[in-house]
């Protein structure tokens, strides 16, 4: 269970819960349950059982069930914004930056944070109006990262469609991979998938 340095610094800043802490463990399990069964079909009793406590004890850590959903989303975006930023920073060319972003997002979606990323996509409606605004603000930062790279590419004439459209297509296409992509020995790797995505865009 090695933790990467980006996660570590976010934990230190208290922006993300330590997966080893009680709160962190609950959020991890919640993401898994929300993804598998859906938010509404996941009961507070399910959540409590997943971390080995009584259902009432949950409300010592979170005021409501919805607050758990919001925490899953907020922490996921925070972590992934940092991961994307780091990935993009390591590349030189605009094309390299885009490829790094695609690769990093595929990893987020299909790797360890996959459950939480799926929750972000599929459980949006389950959030109350107020929480949505809060999460949206964070999401705007995340999207800004993508757009700046895409606009740079577009400025150099390397994009075949408008940046904001390309981003939205990519959002759908990449998040959908969670429903079908399964890494197998000798099969399609995440790198291979990244290549296919880039190739599809003629890049």
Partner DNA sequence: GACAATACCAAGCAAGCGCTTGGTTTGTAA
Partner DNA sequence: TTACAAACCAAGCGCTTGCTTGGTATTGTC
CB 94 within 8 A of CB 158: yes
Q: Determine phi and psi for 76, rounding to 5 degrees.
A: -65, -45
Counting contacts by CB under 7 A, is residue 37 touching DNA? no
- Quick one: 50 or 53, whose CB is closer to DNA? 53
| Binding test (CB under 8 A) with a copy of itself, winner from 162, 183, 189, 191 | 162
Strand ranges (E), 44-162: none
What are the angstrom distances between the C-alpha of 27 and each of 6, 32, 98, 181?
19, 9, 30, 24
Q: Which is nearer to DNA, 66 or 107 (CB)?
A: 66
Query: How many residues at the interface with DNA, by CB under 7 A?
Result: 19
Task: Choose the stretch contacting DNA; rule: CB under 7 A; options: 46-54, 92-100, 103-111, 179-187.
Answer: 46-54
SS3 assignment, position 137: helix
Among 22, 50, 138, 178, binds DNA (CB under 7 A): 22
What part of residues 113-172 is at the interface with DNA (CB under 7 A)? Answer: none
Residue 56 C-beta: closest distance to DNA, Å: 3
Q: Tell me which of 33, 48, 174, 190 binds a copy of itself, using CB under 8 A.
A: 174
Selected from 3, 9, 54, 148, the binder of DNA by CB under 7 A is 54
Long-range contacts of 175-183 (CB under 8 A, 24+ apart): 175/109, 175/117, 175/118, 175/121, 177/106, 177/109, 177/110, 178/109, 178/110, 178/114, 178/117, 178/118, 181/106, 181/110, 183/110
Binding of DNA at residue 42 (CB under 7 A)?
A: yes
d(CA 22, CA 29): 11
The CA-CA-CA angle for residues 123, 125, 131, to 5°, reads 95
Residue 96 contacts a copy of itself per CB under 8 A: no
Q: Binding of DNA at residue 19 (CB under 7 A)?
A: no
140 makes contact, choosing from DNA, a copy of itself, none, with CB < 5 to 8 Å by partner type, with: none
Whether 194 contacts 106, CB under 8 Å: yes
For DNA, the binding residues (CB under 7 A) are 22, 42-45, 48, 52-57, 59-61, 63-66
For a copy of itself, the binding residues (CB under 8 A) are 36-38, 40-41, 122, 125-126, 160-162, 165-166, 168-177, 180, 188, 193, 196-197, 199-202
């Amino acid at each position: 269970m090695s933790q990467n340095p980006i996660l570590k610094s976010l934990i230190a800043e208290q922006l993300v819960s330590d997966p080893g802490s009680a709160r962190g463990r609950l959020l991890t399990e919640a993401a898994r349950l929300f993804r598998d069964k859906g938010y509404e079909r996941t009961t507070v009793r399910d959540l409590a059982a997943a971390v080995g406590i009584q259902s009432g004890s949950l409300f010592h850590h979170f005021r409501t069930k919805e607050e758990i959903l919001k925490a899953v989303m907020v922490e996921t975006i925070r972590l992934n914004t940092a991961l994307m930023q780091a990935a993009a920073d390591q590349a030189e060319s605009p094309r390299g930056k885009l490829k790094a972003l695609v690769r990093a997002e595929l990893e987020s979606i299909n790797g360890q944070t996959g459950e939480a990323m799926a929750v972000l996509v599929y459980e949006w409606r389950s959030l109350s109006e107020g929480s949505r605004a809060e999460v949206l603000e964070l999401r705007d930062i995340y999207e800004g990262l993508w757009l700046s790279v895409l606009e740079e590419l577009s400025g150099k004439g390397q994009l075949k469609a408008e940046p904001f459209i390309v981003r939205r297509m990519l959002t759908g296409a990449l998040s959908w991979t969670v429903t079908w992509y399964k890494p197998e020995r000798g099969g399609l790797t995440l790198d291979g998938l990244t290549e296919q995505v880039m190739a599809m865009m003629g890049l």
